[in-house]
């Protein structure tokens, strides 16, 4: 048997493998030592501190959400939404969703409700209506001139804000059919008012005693839910000619269901009284008398009347 010879290449290969193994072990040791030092230098976990940090983060997130939801400071031309309500607004959440569509402060809200009623967290679920009631409201009776007086009160308050450029009358049962951006762009893109108006030729509402202040050829009828440009809003507020005629001669017919004194008989010839509904005639007739018809056009509100 020949003796086994150990050459240079064989011994060198074993030396390289041993060196590599030692280097790997050294790296593992250093990594473990580094992790131990890092863990030892970190602060111990404190559950109370974690809870405080989480609570602070929640408060910051809540504050940011409120800022994002709140209307931005005004700087654009605004649409004034003028609500005529008995007291509460039953469709307030629908309007809340509508107003949330604006992020640029392009609207204002005023509410005429019964005297003494205040819109607070207890009376409305929408923050957009907080304290938006006018402070000089009056008692409104259906079919009387008090309804148009309420409209004038709302307009007078809205005109105090120079950024209000359009004025929309809405009732407590009105709802928006389109989102805020579409509604705003549509209203602001027109230079005219939107008023439902037509010549009322039926007998019974026009009182001849209004002539000559209100000639019969200028007598108009339509829905009170209108959109006015600023010029027409100022005409309504400044009017001292047509309103007195409505207050004197445009009254509700004294039908039994409207009587408060049931023990009294119906006045003789009550059927001859003019059953004039001022809110359906006042703005239309006023604009027909003093404004260019080219500056006001068809209405942009829709009315659904239920017999139930």
Please state, in angstroms and rounded to a whole number, the distance separating the CA atoms of residues 242 and 153.
Answer: 16
pLDDT digits (tens, 9 = 90+) for 67-92: 334 444 446 899 999 999 988 999 99
Q: How many CA atoms lie within 13 A of 230 on its CB side?
A: 13
Residue 120 in any domain: the answer is yes
Residue 26 in any domain: the answer is no
- Decide if 204 contacts 275 (C-beta within 8 A): yes
Worst-scoring range by mean pLDDT, 13-22, 67-76, 94-103, 162-171? 67-76
Domain that holds residue 212: 72-255+271-297
Indicate whether 55 pLDDT > 80.
Answer: no
| CATH number of the domain that residue 190 is part of | 3.90.550
Cis peptide before 262 (omega within 30 of 0): no
Worst-scoring range by mean pLDDT, 98-107, 216-225, 253-262? 253-262
From the list 38, 107, 100, 26, the residue with the least C-alpha distance to 70 is 100
Indicate whether 23 pLDDT > 60.
Answer: yes
pLDDT digits (tens, 9 = 90+) for 248-285: 988 776 555 444 555 555 555 544 555 688 999 999 99
Measuring CA to CA, how many Å separate 48 from each of 39, 44, 141, 175?
Answer: 20, 12, 62, 49
Cβ-based neighbours of 199, under 8 Å, separated by 6 or more = 217, 219, 220, 221
Residue 233 in any domain: the answer is yes
Residue 133 in any domain: the answer is yes
Taking each helix axis as running N to C, give the angle between helix 146-158 and helix 242-249, from 0 to 180 degrees, rounded to the nearest 10.
Answer: 150
pLDDT digits (tens, 9 = 90+) for 222-233: 998 999 999 999
Block residue for tokens 């100022």 = 234
Residue 302 in any domain: the answer is no
Indicate whether 185 pLDDT > 60.
Answer: yes
Burial class (CB in 10 A: 0-12, 13-18, 19+), 26: exposed
Residue 307 in any domain: the answer is no
Residue 67 in any domain: the answer is no
Q: What is residue 307's predicted lDDT score, i.e. its pLDDT?
A: 45
End-to-end CA distance of the chain: 122
Burial class (CB in 10 A: 0-12, 13-18, 19+), 250: buried
The residue-averaged pLDDT of 3-23 equals 55
* Strand-pair partners of 110: 82
Residue 23 in any domain: the answer is no
Block residue for tokens 């989102």 = 179
Average pLDDT, the chain: 78
Number of domains the chain contains: 1
């Amino acid at each position: 048997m020949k003796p086994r010879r150990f050459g240079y290449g064989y011994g060198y290969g074993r030396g390289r493998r041993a060196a590599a193994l030692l280097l790997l072990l050294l790296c593992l040791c250093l990594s473990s030592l580094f992790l131990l030092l890092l863990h030892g230098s970190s602060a111990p976990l404190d559950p109370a501190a974690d809870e405080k940090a989480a609570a602070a983060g929640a408060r910051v997130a809540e504050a940011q959400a409120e800022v994002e939801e709140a209307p931005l400071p005004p700087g654009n031309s605004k649409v004034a939404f003028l609500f005529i309500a008995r007291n509460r607004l039953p469709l307030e959440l629908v309007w809340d969703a509508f107003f949330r569509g604006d992020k640029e402060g392009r609207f204002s809200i005023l509410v005429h409700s019964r005297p003494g009623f205040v819109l607070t967290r207890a009376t409305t679920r929408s923050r957009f209506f907080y304290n938006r009631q006018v402070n000089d409201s009056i008692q409104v009776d259906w079919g009387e001139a008090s309804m148009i007086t309420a409209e004038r009160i709302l307009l007078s308050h809205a005109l105090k804000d120079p950024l209000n450029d359009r004025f929309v009358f809405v009732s407590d049962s009105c709802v928006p059919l389109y989102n805020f951006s579409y509604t705003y762009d549509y209203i602001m893109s027109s230079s005219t008012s939107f008023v439902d108006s037509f010549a009322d030729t039926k007998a019974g509402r026009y009182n001849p005693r209004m002539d000559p202040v209100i000639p019969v050829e200028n007598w108009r009828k339509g829905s009170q839910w209108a959109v006015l440009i600023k010029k027409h809003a100022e005409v309504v507020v400044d009017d001292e000619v047509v309103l007195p005629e409505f207050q004197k001669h445009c009254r509700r017919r004294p039908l039994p269901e409207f009587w408060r004194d049931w023990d009294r008989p119906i006045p003789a010839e009550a059927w001859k009284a003019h059953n004039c509904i001022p809110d359906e005639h006042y703005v239309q007739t006023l604009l027909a008398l003093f404004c260019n018809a080219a500056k006001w056009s068809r209405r942009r509100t829709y009315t659904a009347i239920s017999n139930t």
